[in-house]
Structure 1
Amino acid sequence: MTFHQIIKLRNLLLGINFIAVLFNSSLFLFLSRYISENQLDYQLLTKLNSIPSNPMSVFIKSLILFFVLATTIIVRQIKAFSKLANNCILIFELILALAIFFILNMSYNGIFLLVFINLFLTNKDEVEFNKYKFWLLAGFMLLILFSLSDQNLINDFIKAPSLSSYIAFLPQSTGSMLSFIRSFLSLTNLMLFIVILLFYAQYLSSREQELKNKLEISKEFKSMADLTEHISHDKDRERLARDIHDTIGHTLTGFAVGLDAAIVLVDIDPNAAKKQLTKVSGSVKDGLINIRKSLNRIRPGALDNYTFKAALEELLHEFQTISHLQITLEYNWDAEKLEKTTEDVIFHIIEETITNSLKHGHAKEITVICSMKENYYQLVIHNNGRNAPDFKPGIGLTYLQDLVSSIGGKIKFDGKVGFTTIVLIPKESNIND
């Protein structure tokens, strides 16, 4: 049920109230004339507990006031007002409803249901479905007003001519039919009021759910943006790694060529060979400086500011925050002293693997296990994403293979159930052997 459809039901309620007001005011007018024409005025006065108002005045005033009320309701629906002006108009509508109620000699109290419905509909942006206190208070006020406006009850406190006394002068069949029409209009008004309230509660509930969904989508977009930023940082590190690779290759090539030239010159011209070796030494030193600068740039800042375990926990926490992943870390290297190079490699492997799990595997849960296996550091990373039994290593996995091989390690992948990455990196003592 859309809000526009609810407004249509409210307009139907407005029409029913117009018919009810017109019917009750007409009864006062025409029954007064009927009683007067049949010279039953004295008998009527003996049955009434107060002097009746001019029936024509009742008819005209009630219709004019209802017209003003209907106009106010419609105008407020199509035009926006400030909160203060809106509240003042609501009070004005309630005063109009009270005026109509008393002008009709308290014979019709359904007009209050129209005002209450309008109260809810014009405050839809301020009322939330889960604010039960508001609904309880509004319902309690409605119950009190409806109870107090019952003519049989209120006549004990406020004297007013009863329409039933007028109807009693008609033939029984005619009187019964008119009483039935009055009751039918009141009951229809009440039933439609309840229907509108139910649909309105449903509308608020669905709108609240829609807002929650939009909020979730907004959070997902933010997570994707954070993840994209994180991945871009990874790409920067990959570029730096390639720069290191190129620098090392260039330095080693220059070193080999310069050394060959020095070997040739050593027997012919020792001084020239010495100068050549000096050039080679300078070139190698420059290469080492460039490599060291690149390494400082590629090394994650977390590894400089925390212990390796704390840096891993910070990395995994960051991934959980930006992607809503459930990541479990089992760390059994507390007693181990890892080399900086090993730390860098393991850190990059975990970072790259989790990123791939999000980008390609759409995983929700990831387990990272850091353990020992003989003289090897064993790293196992498993995610519950999509299976990939026949995967072929792409650029990212090839990069990991090269990274692990650079420190004498081994890496293998298994995509049968989710995706698992297993890394074995020899301890320093094993490398020296």
Structure 2
Amino acid sequence: MNENRILNHILRVMKNLNFLIILYTSVMIFCGLQGYIQENTAMNFLAQVNTLPEAPWKIPVLTICLFGCCVLLMNMENIQGRGLVLKVCLELGIAVWISSFLGFSYTGMILLILADTIRYIPRTKGQIPFAVIIGLFYLLIDYDLITICRDIIPLDAYLAYYQKDVTAVWLGIRNVASSLNVLVFIIYMIMLVRVQMNEKERIMVLNERLDALYSDLLDANVQLEEYARESVKMAETKERNRLAREIHDTIGHALTGIITGIDACMALMDVAPEVAKKQLGAIGEVARQGMTDVRRSVRALRPDALEKFDLENALSRTINDMCTATNAEIEYQCDTRLDCFTEDEEDMIYRIVQESITNAIRHGHANYIRVLIGRTGDTLQISVKDNGIGCKDIKEGFGLHHMKERLEMLGGSLRYNGKEGFEVEACIPIRRGMEEV
């Protein structure tokens, strides 16, 4: 930022210096013409030139006005493409016009235009061609070359009115100012090159940092994937062990008691029927207790939301939580009551909606999901559609396969389409409570 301020300050110095040189030169010409007119020696002046000069007052007035217009054009920033080319052409045209009033004795404004223009040209793409073109233009605007095409009054003709020592002082001051303008231009270009080199170095450092961060991110993603796989394996192992314990402690225990009791009953059936009947009653109690334990184990596999809330509230809360966690817009519409299903049906409905939303966000990168639940006859219909990337070649993974398998166990069906986004449609037959829906 400090370097850019220095560049702007140097450019401002060049503008002021050019203004003083143009004003100084135009005043010299004005005073010379006025001297010829007042001393009635205009014929001596006309004998030195091949064309008539402008009215004395017009030269300083028009040159200053034209310079002001050029500065206004320079102050127009953020111009690119054809607009920039047109802007530069207008500035060069004004510079030539000003030089023509001064007898093409001063062309330093071209350096000012080059210094102002080169800042807005894209790096390395157009700076060199622009600089070459404007540099050639600067070399071609020479008095000796211009006089080949048109008649021009040289500055010497205006200064011939003054004595030689006065003329030497006038020209000395102007030449020093012109040299100072060239020196300031050189300093400006050196600073500009330095700024661009520093900018390239900063970009290289940033690129190196980005590469390092990208490498770290890749490593983190690999570690995260490994951790996710290990977590899945741990969860599967934990659940497998839990189910094994439940089977051993509930079903295994109950079946062992039932088998043992039935064997005893078979031995007692002919010998002591009453004892066998009593034993069968005990076996029935063991079976009922085993069934209770199995139901308790199955309930332990239910989603936590369904343990705390009914199905409709569980779905609403899950969708709201997913909206909050992912910033995805999820439209949820339910046109039927959901209080007429068994627990396994509720589990299936909940899992279909949950898995479909999760897949839409995780795999489809969707930010809008529409969930519709309605009823047609004795069938509950669930539709989950997203605006994600979709999938033309669908390979049935664990989630879809699991949903399809459980739906078929309930007599339902599953369809999906990945052409425009991804859409999942599930149909579940309503087995009871239809009059309440």
TM range (shorter): 0.3 to 0.5
Q: Given the two structures, how large is their TM-score scaled by the length of structure 2?
A: 0.43
Q: Given the two structures, how large is their TM-score scaled by the length of structure 1?
A: 0.43
